[in-house]
Amino acid sequence: MVRVRIPSTKASPEQVLDLIKIIKKNTGSIYAMRDEIHSYLLKKSTRGKRNAYNSVYAITFPTLRRLGLIDDKGPDVRLSHDGEILLKIYNDEGELEYKKAFGKILLRVDYEKAHVVKCLLSLRKGAVSIEKLSDLLRKEGVDTNPADDRLLRWLRYLKFVKFIESADSNIKVNHFRIKGIKEGKAKVKYNKFINVVIEEYNKIRIRNRGNIYVKIPELEHNVCNRLFRFNFTTYDFRTYLKKLKSGKFKNMKFIFSRPGAREENGITIDGVYYYYISIYR
């Protein structure tokens, strides 16, 4: 079995909102962005000192990239679709809705890379020890242990969005909160989603000279941008997209294909990893 590791998140969850604000404010000016990030983390440091390079390139950018909140391929760093959505929701609807949206984003990352929520949901109501949780994670193929810094930091994120009520030696799972976010409907009707998927698929296919195999991450980017005003996150996209795997819609058939080699940001459905989608009448 290929073992996975929980994503490293060195920036604290309480800092994420301020950091994405800084990135939004300084988009297009990497030097100003780096200086403000360093100044911010320096103020937050209990030691009263912080290396400027590490503040940016070892803490902030890696954490936000692993959460899917920034695009930093190339010289420019900017908020991703989900990063923009988080900031928009906070500005429009306040902290409570921000944390709900952040919970959606953490669910996506967790399902694909950490598997902590899956293990927590397998437990009955009550508290679980960190030792028991790490045992469950190892059975899921996660390389971790009770003292794993990655696990402890990830639990802090889950506590921040109220998925758990304690991240100490005993963890109480908030099943109601997780279920509410998982089952909460996006502000986009499913038929509208399908229509946008088909439209954007056809646009990409034309650009690709008729190639019927469209990359799921590219389709996700286009569809989410179209539905931005509805606060439609990549978690919503993937939740809706998985339903298309089960049958035909509007006389259209949706075929999911696996990549020849492992590609990033595909989608796992029923344990199978897909990277391409094609649509047929």
pLDDT tens for each residue of 204-223: 999 998 899 999 999 999 99
Backbone dihedral angles phi then psi of residue 122, each to the nearest 5 degrees: -75, -10
Please report the pLDDT score of residue 176 as a whole number: 86
> Confidence class of residue 124 from pLDDT cuts 50, 70 and 90?
confident
**8 A C-beta contact, residue 149 and residue 7:** no
| Average pLDDT of the residues in 237-261 | 85
Please report the pLDDT score of residue 182 as a whole number: 83
| Average pLDDT of the residues in 234-261 | 86
In the chain, the percentage of residues whose pLDDT exceeds 90 is 69
Which amino acid is residue 225, in one-letter code? N
Cα gap 147→115, rounded to integer Å:
17
Please report the pLDDT score of residue 179 as a whole number: 87
> Confidence class of residue 167 from pLDDT cuts 50, 70 and 90?
low
> Confidence class of residue 252 from pLDDT cuts 50, 70 and 90?
confident
In the chain, the percentage of residues whose pLDDT exceeds 70 is 96
Q: How many CB atoms lie within 10 A of CB 30?
A: 14
Report the length, in residues, of the chain.
281
Which amino acid is residue 224, in one-letter code? C
Cα gap 261→239, rounded to integer Å:
24
Q: Is residue 168's pLDDT more than 70? A: no
- Which two three-digit tokens encode residue 206? 């034309």
- Which two three-digit tokens encode residue 157? 């994120």
Please report the pLDDT score of residue 34 as a whole number: 94
**What's the pLDDT tens digit per position in 24-67?**
999 999 999 999 999 999 988 777 677 888 899 999 999 999 99
> Confidence class of residue 175 from pLDDT cuts 50, 70 and 90?
confident
**What's the pLDDT tens digit per position in 263-274?**
888 998 888 999
**H helix and E strand count, the chain:** 13, 10
| Average pLDDT of the residues in 128-147 | 92
